Chains A and B, each alone.
Chain A
């Protein structure tokens, strides 16, 4: 059935109960009028996140620390450090069984660690490029004299209404050897160049997909900024660059931090783009996790990788938080 509303009755009951509790809470706080705790507005969301985020994360952690039979183990993490860990066990057993020396086959596999480093490096580059490209765009969009803002926001969003998989495939049509760009180059007598299957192609795909996530938050903050501040700066003798540097930029930092968060995090774990545009030559951490879950069907190892990834991003986020001088509270927005 297309719109099969099949949930167990208790799921519906739980949802209904949650709604009623929330309504009562809101009602009570409104009644109490002055002493109202607006913080209670976050309660349905909190409940939602506990069910659909915290519980699943606990499930993932459970998988990360157990083996296929559900017994506690740290092997999954040893596997991360040494991708040959499982294989070495088999090789040793085999050597013992046959009574031969297989010591030359016992090595440490570094693929997981290397891929992680590579993914971070790619995500870093992608974030920087998005920032460099996106900041001026957001700045110009927010320029009151040009009156372009809202139209351009829409123009930024429309491409994302086309399916991301199709857009990535379209880039392939453009970049491949017999693709449009090379056809144009040939017409101009410049000869073909290999554009596909390099790290830079992957980077292009990533920037293309994540750029709007950098532009929006910065634009939102700039647009809201009191423009009289920059006018005042100009009146006080700042030239436009000084105004930008001393007034606009510091004020836009919350947007920048938000943008960096929104670009960096998904780009570390990109998959599909490296496969299509990178030709499977290099792997990113998302591909690695995907192959653990889907190709190898090893959920325990895959969960361990995911858990490590999450930890790493949480750490980098807290660093980012420190970099935000106005870091009020979460500092992420």
Chain B
């Protein structure tokens, strides 16, 4: 009974999370352009999508930045978390303040302050600056996901490993990193997701020449959202879902 209630509760939350997604997908098959009226089923917008070079370019920018930022910030953040964890109390507190600084700033301020930085150093804004900005806001999230794992870790296992003759490097890769693997993965996922989803910071750190999906969609919300963008989102959704299913089946077979 309890088990059913728990599942029921999780189900409700899932419905809450997925309702807008379903709406988006359904809209992408609407024959008409208006968001409000259903004018019959059609693949029209999917055809449009393939012909729309701007959207495809934006997709490429978004995905490539998300992945590169994820990889870099995961490495940077995991190392930093291990480092911060090993620090003495005072520098640790200082580092935590530094880590929380980008989150304390409203996105718009982070974006604008980075824009000021790039203008100040005469760095032309574009793909690279956007990437740098994404790494900057991703990394603290990786740290925040990895640190709790490190804190939960029993300090003595590491010392025990050393006592048993492991070198610190060996102990790092064999004891510390495996123990916070879950945190690293969560952090990487978060970084990828945040980067994929970011609008504000991208908006200020790129020029109109290099647009990602968010800035493109933002322009579109001004003129009325084109269902082509819904079609793209639906495709991305399905692609990720298929990817997940494949991976899940593989892992099931492995077991």
Judge A-B direct contact (beta carbons within 8 Å): yes
Counting CB contacts under 8 A, is B199 at the interface?
yes
Whether B114 and A7, one on each chain, are in contact in the complex, defined by CB atoms closer than 8 angstroms, is no
Whether A7 and B230, one on each chain, are in contact in the complex, defined by CB atoms closer than 8 angstroms, is no
Contact of A57 among B3, B80, B101 (CB under 8 A): B101
Residues facing B in A192-250 (CB within 8 A) are 208, 211, 216-217, 220-221, 223-225, 240
Counting CB contacts under 8 A, is B167 at the interface?
yes
Whether A158 and B237, one on each chain, are in contact in the complex, defined by CB atoms closer than 8 angstroms, is yes
Q: Which residue of B lies closest to A216 (CB)?
A: B186
Contacts of A310 in B (CB 8 A): 101, 104-105, 109
Contacts of B92 in A (CB 8 A): 329-330
The answer to whether A223 and B117 touch (CB under 8 A), given A7-B128, A266-B107, is: no
SS class of chain B's interface: helix, strand, loop or mixed? helix
Contact of B148 among A163, A166, A221, A317 (CB under 8 A): A221
**Interface extent on A, as a size class?**
35 or more
SS class of chain A's interface: helix, strand, loop or mixed? helix
Complex Cα distance, B16 from A52, in Å, reads 37
Most buried by A among B36, B89, B112, B217: B112
Q: Which residue of B lies closest to A276 (CB)?
A: B221
Contacts of A217 in B (CB 8 A): 144-145, 148
Whether A152 and B104, one on each chain, are in contact in the complex, defined by CB atoms closer than 8 angstroms, is no
Residues of A within 8 A of B (CB): 1-8, 11, 30, 33-34, 36-46, 48-49, 52-57, 59-60, 63, 133, 136-137, 140-141, 143, 145-146, 148, 151-167, 169-171, 173-174, 176, 178, 180, 208, 211, 216-217, 220-221, 223-225, 240, 254-255, 258, 261-262, 265-266, 268-269, 271-272, 276, 285-286, 289-290, 293, 299, 302, 306, 309-310, 313-314, 317, 328-333
Give me 19 other A-B pairs in contact (C-beta within 8 A), A4-B210, A171-B20, A272-B199 excluded: A42-B87, A52-B136, A55-B117, A56-B117, A59-B113, A140-B10, A153-B189, A161-B193, A166-B217, A211-B17, A261-B144, A266-B107, A268-B106, A269-B109, A271-B108, A290-B108, A314-B97, A330-B99, A330-B147
